[in-house]
Amino acid sequence: MCSGDNVFADETRPLLPHTAFVVTKQALGQRSALHLSPEASCAAIEAGAKQAMQLHLRQPVEAVHVAGPIHCKVRAQSVALADLFAITPLVERVSGTELEFTGADMHYVVRVLNTLSAMGMGLS
């Protein structure tokens, strides 16, 4: 089960066709969205998780395994964010707003993406 905004769901659904998606906000632009209240989001995520588990129990789906190494390309929302991300030796800058890195496994890739996300929190 995955949750996030409508853009995340639309982009990810083709990659994970057997996954339940819970949309908690509708993206309107880079800095705006229509979103559910925290209570409604929690309730929707809980219902989605229950539905996904019930479906899984009826029709087990194999776990997705992505073999490494995994090459990841990231497009920052601005040159300023790319400047910030390029400070870390974890990524290589390939254009004004694009960076790349390779990880041995998905765990590493997620950790780097979380690091970049945390770095950009003050500039978004």
What are the residue boundaries of the structural domains of the chain, listed by start?
2-58, 70-120
- pLDDT over threshold 70, residue 34: yes
Tokens read off for 23: 């949309």
Taking the C-alpha atoms of 32, 84, 122 and 8 in order, what is their torsion angle to the nearest 10 degrees? Answer: 40
Higher pLDDT, 124 or 38: 38
- pLDDT over threshold 60, residue 124: no
From CA 115, how far away is CA 46, in angstroms rounded? Answer: 27
Percent of the chain with pLDDT over 70: 93
Q: What is the pLDDT of residue 123?
A: 64
The pTM assigned to this predicted structure is 0.58
Q: What SS3 class is residue 73?
A: strand
